[in-house]
Structure 1
C-alpha cells in the first residue's frame, strides 16, 4: 500500500487549489496519507525561497495572473487579495494536527481552512473561525484548544521533516519511495506515478 506525506500550508493559495483531488487519487490507489501542515514562510527562509510580499513586482504580478488562471481552470472561486493574508497559520495548522489525531475527513478540513482564507475572506488565525471550520467539517470545535503544545511541537517537526525530505514549497507530495511532486498542478503526475506510468 503506497503512502504519501502531504506537506502544505494553510496560507497557500495553491494548497487551496488542491481541493479534493489528492484524496481522489489516494482512494484510487488505496494509498495512505499523513497531512503535514508547515510554516511556509520559515520553509522559504530555510530553503532559499522568497515570501511573495518580498518578491520583485514582476514576479508578484505574474503570481496573481497565474492564480487567477489556475482558479478559473479548476472552476474555483478565489480572492486574489484576501482580507486576512498573510495571517498567522499556526491556529489552523494546530487544529488540523489535533483533528488528524482524532480521526475524520482531514482533507476536507484542510480545504475548508484554505477556502476560508482564499474564497471567503475569513481570518484563519481567529479562534472563532477555527472553531467554526472544525465544527462545519464534523469535528469537535474544542479541538482548537486541545494539545496546543503537542500541536506546536508537531508543527515544528513537520517543518524539519519538510526540509529533510527536499521540500521547498507548498503543496508538496512525497511518496514512500522519495518521489516528490511540487504544486497543485502535479496531482496528475502523482496519479501517473502511483499507477506505474512515470
Structure 2
C-alpha cells in the first residue's frame, strides 16, 4: 500500500487551492496519507526560500496572477489579499495534529476548512473561537484546541525538521518514498506516479 507524507501550511494559498484532490488521488490508489502541518516561513528560511513580503515586486505581481489563474482552474473562490493573512499558523496546525491523534472526524475536511477560512471566508484561523468552530464542524471535539498543546508543538517542530531533512522546501509538498512533488499543480504527476506511469 503506497503512503504519502503530506507537508503543508494552513496559511498557504496553494495548500488551499489543492482542495481535496490529494484525498481523491489517495483513495483511487489505496494510499494512506500522513498530515504534517509545518511553519512555512521557517521552512523558507531554512531551505533558501524568500519570505513573501521580502520578494521582488515582479515576483509578487506574478504570484497574484498565478493565484488568480489557479483559483479559476480549481473552481475555488480566493481572496487575493485576505483580511487575516499572514496570521499565526500554530493554533490551526496544533488543532490538526491533535485531531489526527484523536481520530474520529474528517481530518481532510478540517485541513481544507482551515485554509478555506483563511483564503475564502475572511476568518482568522489563529483565533480560538475559529479553531474550535472548525474542529466541531468536522466531527472533532472542540476541546482538542486546548489539550495536548505541548505534544502538538513538539510534533509541529518535528514536522519542520523532517521536511528539511527529506528535501521539502515549500507547501504543499507530497513525498512518496524518495519521490517528491511540490505544489498543488503537481498532483497530476503524483497521480501518474502512483499509477506506475511516471
- 1:106 and 1:64 map into 2 onto residues whose CA distance is 29
Other structure's SS at 1:189 match: helix
- 1:6 and 1:184 map into 2 onto residues whose CA distance is 11
Match in the other structure for 1:139: 140
- 1:131 and 1:101 map into 2 onto residues whose CA distance is 16
Instruction: Count matched residues.
Output: 197
- 2:61 and 2:188 map into 1 onto residues whose CA distance is 27
Normalised TM-score (structure 1) = 0.98
| Alignment map for 1:2-151 (pairs within 5 Å) | 2-103=2-103, 104-151=105-152
Gaps of 5+ in 1: none
Normalised TM-score (structure 2) = 0.98
Tell me by how many angstroms 1:196 deviates: 0.2
Other structure's SS at 1:121 match: coil
Match in the other structure for 1:156: 157
Tell me by how many angstroms 1:106 deviates: 1.2
Gaps of 5+ in 2: none
1:126-172 C-alpha deviation (Å, 9 max, x unpaired): 00000011111111100101100000000000000000010000000
Compute the RMSD of aligned alpha carbons: 0.6
Tell me by how many angstroms 1:107 deviates: 1.1
- 1:37 and 1:51 map into 2 onto residues whose CA distance is 18
